[in-house]
Amino acid sequence: MKTLTLIFSVFISSGLATFAQSPLKPSPKNMLVTFPISENKEMKSSAQIPLFDSIKTWNWDTINSVWVPNMLTYPLSYDSNGNLLSQTQQTWNGASWDNTYYNEYTYNSNNNQLTLLLQTWNGTSWDTYDSIINTFDGANNHLTQLQRHWNGTTWVNDQLITQTFFNNSILSYVLTTGGLGYWGDVFSKTYTYDNVSNNLIGVDAITNNMGTWENDWKLTGHTYDSNYNLTYYLYKVWSGTSWDDNESYSFTYDSNHQLLTKLSITYSGGLSNSGLVTNTYNANNKLVNQVNQFWTMNSWHNASSQRLGYDANNINVWKVNEMDYNLANSPNTKDSTYYYYRVISGIAEQNTPETITIYPNPAHDWITIRGNDIEWLMLYDVLGRTVTTATNLQGPYQMNVATLPRGLYFLSAKTKTQTIYKKIVLN
């Protein structure tokens, strides 16, 4: 029987294994590591995880105060490992659903997504449009992603992202495009970590300006609390002669290491508040409300909000987004997404033994794992696809999850005596 649900941030209409980011915006470590499928299979058990049969999205009609259909993703097909193989997206024309996009996916034996083929509807048939090709090394690190478009006769490269890793941490990120009039590197980032806890302490970005590499922006000044939660970093931009402070970010957490607030302060035109994200959790430590605010006229005003509800099993079953608030703090637009799903065998959650501590949960940017002699740990999504791993942990370990899609994940960790499983929510 199908169940009508709203699953927080598990939106797979793109279904894209991507680590592309805007080169103009700062971002922490942006792609992580994966385990071989042999480890992944070891962690399968009798718990249930959802596979989506269809996904429907509505927009709020502010004039008539009703929900109006917007997008339908149907049907969706999966392989025996729960990997999404294909999906069709349709839009509502006021009377019926019209085809819009059709996506096909392939995977390697480790469940890493190798290709995405995107097709568009011309009114009578599907036309080839875009494709993405990913490569991974033997440790399942995501090394490259090539994005192409079809010009009617052949594939034309649009951009290539290349990354390097060392000890499960990303060292460099290079963006290559044809934007310079020729195929060449246009943007690069390098990452720096401390030597004790492997915390990220710096990101430096440079841009290719007509053949000359120039400073662009950097993240610096990172601080962490005693629980290895990120509490502060500073975003600087290059003025042409010096580094100028542009914006700082501060974070607070509750006693369960869950992110409570993220405050941004701008240095442009004088020191001033800029943005504020505030999270609220229920008694089960589940995110129930997130409010994004901006500073204007010497006070905070809502920019967007998201409200979430959960069933008796603590599974997120609905969400409502409200956006484009006016200065009276009333939303001008809303949307909601409903997911119809079935279940397959997934991961049974176990209580974490006292020797291993995992926090915060829900998490936003980082997950800290503390324990002795952890042989390996792995984070994977609701479709069973491994998204990051680490091995041979001798002390506290911080897992960067800032760029992963928000939603439900499963974390497993193996010690010399047992393997434990925990559900992790990214918000």
What are the residue ranges spanned by the domains of the chain?
A: 3-24+48-347
Task: For 275, list phi and psi in degrees, rounded to 5.
Answer: -140, 155
State which H helix or E strand residue 217 sits in. strand 212-224
Say how many CA atoms lie within 13 Å of 43 toward its Cβ.
32
Say how many CA atoms lie within 13 Å of 213 toward its Cβ.
11
CATH architecture of 3-24+48-347: Beta Barrel (2.40)
Tell me what pLDDT residue 20 has: 38
Tally of CB atoms within 10 A around 33: 24
Q: Which amino acid is at 393?
A: L
Q: How far apart are CA 273 and CA 296, in angstroms?
A: 9
Contacts 24+ apart (CB under 8 A), 248-257: 248/221, 251/365, 253/225, 253/227, 253/229, 253/360, 254/281, 256/281, 256/285, 256/359, 256/360, 256/361, 257/227, 257/229, 257/359, 257/360, 257/361, 257/368
Per DSSP, the chain holds a count of helices (H) and strands (E) of 1, 28
Contact status, residue 409 vs residue 381, Cβ threshold 8 Å: yes
Q: How far apart are CA 381 and CA 18, in angstroms?
A: 14
State which H helix or E strand residue 419 sits in. strand 419-426
DSSP state of 40: H
Of the ranges 66-70, 261-265, 279-283, 366-370, which one carries the lowest mean pLDDT score? 366-370
Q: Exposed (0-12), middle (13-18) or buried (19+): which is 422, by Cβ within 10 Å? A: buried
**DSSP E strand stretches across 282-383:** 287-296, 299-310, 316-323, 333-345, 356-359, 366-371, 374-381
Of the ranges 3-12, 130-139, 182-191, 324-333, which one carries the lowest mean pLDDT score? 3-12
pLDDT band at 427 (very low <50, low <70, confident <90, very high): confident
pTM over 0.95: no
pLDDT tops 90 at residue 103: yes
State which H helix or E strand residue 410 sits in. strand 407-414
Instruction: Give pLDDT tens digits for 286-333.
Output: 899 999 999 998 999 999 999 888 776 666 677 888 988 877 777 888
Instruction: Give pLDDT tens digits for 31-73.
Output: 222 222 222 323 333 344 557 778 888 898 888 888 899 999 8
